[in-house]
Chains A and B, each alone.
Chain A
């Protein structure tokens, strides 16, 4: 069985729907919301203290040697850095609640604005790749389960495992060298052609130029991501196909494809949906590599750059935004689970 080689598949399958036993749906939603909010608060707290406990003053980069002592004091006051740590922490929380993440040390602009400029690019890259990966993965996984024991399955599973195990940057560089440098089918980087101007971000996103630039990073990321849904779907299908309703469908004389898609796949889809929602959050952070290889202007590259120049407010903000997307998507996964499997909210755990 493929999942025996792939612990992550087992993890997702272990996400059982039983733990909601006997509670009202609304209460459960609130509980899950609170759970995710607390997790996010923990991340915020760790980030706050982590950057302040690092060696060297967090101000060293910001406070200029040429400022006199009074000016430095004024600046410390302005940023609230003269107060005790716990007060700073509370102020930080209050500012965050208002959507303020401070000023970037080097860009001298509000962090929120900088991050919101690049966030859409990361979301588009991540979502497009996940959709491509999951549509392909689900269909191919279902099909491979159906072809159990055939030579196709024996050949396909190792190939899928190999694409999952290969480092993203390596896949990216190989595709770049082949499809871009050699064959010239795709541009080599960036999100649009040099000097191309658009009246709005929407116009840009739906332009052919943007889609051309998006294609290669999406193919790379999708190739990397498709292994999980494929293997997950395949192993779920193998289980579901032994259930009575499948035998029933066969007895009714339905076509094979209709049994697979209409009956078995619907029931096997649940853990895949969870994996998708969590995948959005996870690959947001993991896009650093793809964004660097393809010069894609996203949040991952912003994060790397901020860390490398010690721009703490910006790095902190980027980490936080990735964590926030992850927490939101976790919550969405919970909600989806409740909607797709009534046993979760109705307490009829099987």
Chain B
């Protein structure tokens, strides 16, 4: 896209629409909508998203638009979309699910908050002061019912303005062998699936095989309580280090290493640590260790974890196991965004390490020999890069696992994971990179294998660049969004391993998700009516702007 000057006038609102019909007489001021570049991922990288973009482009062309679907490699796409914010029209994009996204705050606040439009997560440039007010308000509402109302209002506003055309919340299939593990000891976590800490501490072996052997297609990058270098890293840190709270199977934060966590007022939290906890080296976990764990990232030595402690202004020890935390401002997402995220680290190990780093340019992310003493239900036994990670159960833990070892094998070949599951080389499928239907068929042929799919907290969507005409017009965005049949997306592009989406709060977060925005009316007729009502018209099978609206953009 070459940009000469931006924007024209949007006087269309004042002009009465003359109807949206083929061959309708155009007013002389009407300008044809230029060719639109629709970016997507290469088919080999994300086949579902690629397929979806082709189906969507077909529908949009039927509205009289000239659509050019352009697949871009990840880095080129990031460079264009994320760093060249006013240079693109529309693109396929995705937000992935993570346990901390089980609180709606991260998506509700970050994705559409105005000040984040230039550099932050609001890459589509949606600016709406009314929405900003809602995003801020929900953060300060400690009363859950009240906060829920605000989150609902935010979803309704986004449904009205459609800065994204939400497509689907994907479902991820995982599996385990019921001959090896007692089936009812496997726990499903909302929005995450069966690969979670609740399963790993509760799962019960039935026979001689006491090890849980899980696969991953990616290698472990780092095993450091102050740095996450990739998706798999957090599978491990989750199990080796404890946190004061954890996101429970229901998606809500609940006390873990803390015996209790309570709001004293809207800025003060009272925490009591469990009694009798031990580090993997046998030393007791003390309240001083907890205070240290929340103080250590505050400096400049753990930049990745720093944002999770900046809200804390003071911490005060109360007796042997008590702690009072004071926050800068009321923060309803604090339990999820901070207490469920900060890894508890032993002061006797990390204090000397951080002292040694003081004044040097290196930070805790670059330490060569990271001490892996945690207090979690598993302890690190061995890490063979690119091959496997072996964790052993920590018998002194308050939720000591029933399995003897947790072994993660790195298997990049998706078909081989199925062979391994059959032969017993794996007994838990934590990730399947192949066609989900193949897995379902495989499970039918091998009745010992149980497949469980869970809907993701994250979602796949089409992003509209709200800075550029014609996408600066909410009516145009609504029309394009509602031209897309979500059910077709689910069946034709995602092979039924997804549910339709129309909100940034996933339906798996049932408490926070507003069902009134689900299942909007879609189809070409709906889209054409919205365009006609807003003054757009068809002339010789091409779509024209409402009278008076001009743009001075060209498409390369």
Footprint of B on A, CB under 8 Å?
A: 54-56, 64, 66-68, 71, 74-75, 77-78, 103, 106-110, 114, 117-118, 173, 176-177, 180-181, 184, 187-195, 197, 292-295, 297-298, 301-302, 304-305, 309-310
B425 touches A197 (CB 8 A): no
CA distance A109 to B382 in the complex (A): 17
CA distance A77 to B361 in the complex (A): 9
Does more than half of chain B's interface fall in helix, strand or loop, or is it mixed? mixed
Q: Which one, A64, A103, A194, A305, contacts B219 given CB within 8 A?
A: A305
Measured between beta carbons, the chain A residues less than 8 angstroms from B230 are 106, 309
Measured between beta carbons, the chain B residues less than 8 angstroms from A67 are 300, 303
Question: Chain A: which residue is nearest B420 at the CB level?
Answer: A188
Q: Which one, A68, A103, A190, A197, contacts B366 given CB within 8 A?
A: A103
Question: Chain A: which residue is nearest B384 at the CB level?
Answer: A297
A55 touches B219 (CB 8 A): no
B221 touches A295 (CB 8 A): no
A66 touches B386 (CB 8 A): no
Question: Chain B: which residue is nearest A108 at the CB level?
Answer: B366
A106 touches B413 (CB 8 A): no
B385 touches A108 (CB 8 A): no
29 contacts between A and B (CB under 8 A): A56-B78, A64-B304, A66-B304, A71-B303, A75-B361, A78-B362, A106-B229, A106-B230, A108-B222, A118-B385, A118-B386, A180-B419, A180-B423, A181-B423, A187-B423, A188-B416, A189-B413, A190-B387, A194-B211, A194-B213, A194-B388, A194-B425, A195-B211, A292-B412, A292-B413, A293-B413, A295-B412, A297-B385, A304-B412
4 additional A-B pairs beyond A118-B386, A187-B423, beta carbons within 8 Å, are A55-B76, A180-B419, A309-B230, A310-B75
Question: Chain A: which residue is nearest B427 at the CB level?
Answer: A194
Measured between beta carbons, the chain A residues less than 8 angstroms from B452 are none
The total of interchain contacts (Cβ-Cβ below 8 angstroms) comes to 124
CA distance A195 to B422 in the complex (A): 18
Q: Kindly supply a per-residue 1/0 record for chain B positions 295-337, scoring 1 wherever the CB is within 8 Å of any chain A CB and 0 otherwise.
A: 0000010011011000000000000000000000000000000
Question: Distance (Å) between the CB of A112 and the closest chain B CB?
Answer: 12
Q: Does B390 contact A (CB under 8 A)?
A: yes
CA distance A64 to B211 in the complex (A): 37
B410 touches A68 (CB 8 A): no
A195 touches B407 (CB 8 A): yes
Question: Chain B: which residue is nearest A197 at the CB level?
Answer: B382
Q: Does B195 contact A (CB under 8 A)?
A: no
Question: Distance (Å) between the CB of B406 and the closest chain A CB?
Answer: 10
CA distance A64 to B305 in the complex (A): 11
A108 touches B420 (CB 8 A): no
A188 touches B386 (CB 8 A): no
CA distance A294 to B411 in the complex (A): 8
A184 touches B423 (CB 8 A): yes
A190 touches B419 (CB 8 A): no
B385 touches A195 (CB 8 A): no
**Residue of A54, A103, A107, A108 ringed by the most chain B CB atoms within 10 A:** A108
A190 touches B409 (CB 8 A): yes
Please report which residues of chain B, range 370-422, place their CB below 8 angstroms from some CB of chain A when the two chains form the complex: 382, 384-388, 390, 405, 407, 409-413, 415-416, 418-420, 422
Measured between beta carbons, the chain B residues less than 8 angstroms from A192 are 387
Question: Chain A: which residue is nearest B365 at the CB level?
Answer: A108
B211 touches A68 (CB 8 A): no
Q: Which 7 pairs of residues, A with B, have the shortest CB-CB distance?
A: A66-B303, A297-B386, A181-B419, A74-B361, A188-B419, A297-B387, A106-B229
Please report which residues of chain B, range 158-188, place their CB below 8 angstroms from some CB of chain A when the two chains form the complex: none
Q: Does B357 contact A (CB under 8 A)?
A: no
Q: Does B79 contact A (CB under 8 A)?
A: yes
Does more than half of chain A's interface fall in helix, strand or loop, or is it mixed? loop
Q: Which one, A173, A177, A190, contacts B388 given CB within 8 A?
A: A190
CA distance A201 to B307 in the complex (A): 42
Q: Which one, B76, B386, B416, contacts A302 given CB within 8 A?
A: B386
B368 touches A188 (CB 8 A): no
Measured between beta carbons, the chain A residues less than 8 angstroms from B59 are none
Question: Distance (Å) between the CB of B308 and the closest chain A CB?
Answer: 11
Question: Distance (Å) between the CB of B527 and the closest chain A CB?
Answer: 36
A188 touches B423 (CB 8 A): yes
Q: Does B227 contact A (CB under 8 A)?
A: yes
Measured between beta carbons, the chain B residues less than 8 angstroms from A188 are 416, 419-420, 423, 425
Q: Which one, A68, A71, A187, contacts B425 given CB within 8 A?
A: A187
Question: Distance (Å) between the CB of A173 and the closest chain B CB?
Answer: 7
Question: Distance (Å) between the CB of B206 and the closest chain A CB?
Answer: 18
Question: Distance (Å) between the CB of A244 and the closest chain B CB?
Answer: 54
Q: Does B218 contact A (CB under 8 A)?
A: yes
Please report which residues of chain B, range 18-58, place their CB below 8 angstroms from some CB of chain A when the two chains form the complex: none
Measured between beta carbons, the chain B residues less than 8 angstroms from A191 are 387
CA distance A309 to B385 in the complex (A): 16
CA distance A130 to B307 in the complex (A): 53
Q: Which one, A56, A181, A305, contacts B79 given CB within 8 A?
A: A56
A55 touches B423 (CB 8 A): no
Question: Chain B: which residue is nearest A105 at the CB level?
Answer: B229
Question: Distance (Å) between the CB of B131 and the closest chain A CB?
Answer: 24
Question: Distance (Å) between the CB of B336 and the closest chain A CB?
Answer: 19
Measured between beta carbons, the chain A residues less than 8 angstroms from B412 are 292, 295, 301, 304
Given contacts A64-B304, A195-B390, whether A294 and B410 have CB atoms under 8 Å apart is no
Measured between beta carbons, the chain B residues less than 8 angstroms from A297 are 384-387, 410
Question: Distance (Å) between the CB of A80 and the closest chain B CB?
Answer: 12
Given contacts A108-B366, A194-B213, whether A295 and B385 have CB atoms under 8 Å apart is no
Measured between beta carbons, the chain B residues less than 8 angstroms from A109 are 368
Question: Chain B: which residue is nearest A299 at the CB level?
Answer: B386
Question: Distance (Å) between the CB of A81 and the closest chain B CB?
Answer: 12
Question: Distance (Å) between the CB of B77 and the closest chain A CB?
Answer: 11
CA distance A301 to B413 in the complex (A): 11
Question: Distance (Å) between the CB of B346 and the closest chain A CB?
Answer: 21
B411 touches A295 (CB 8 A): yes
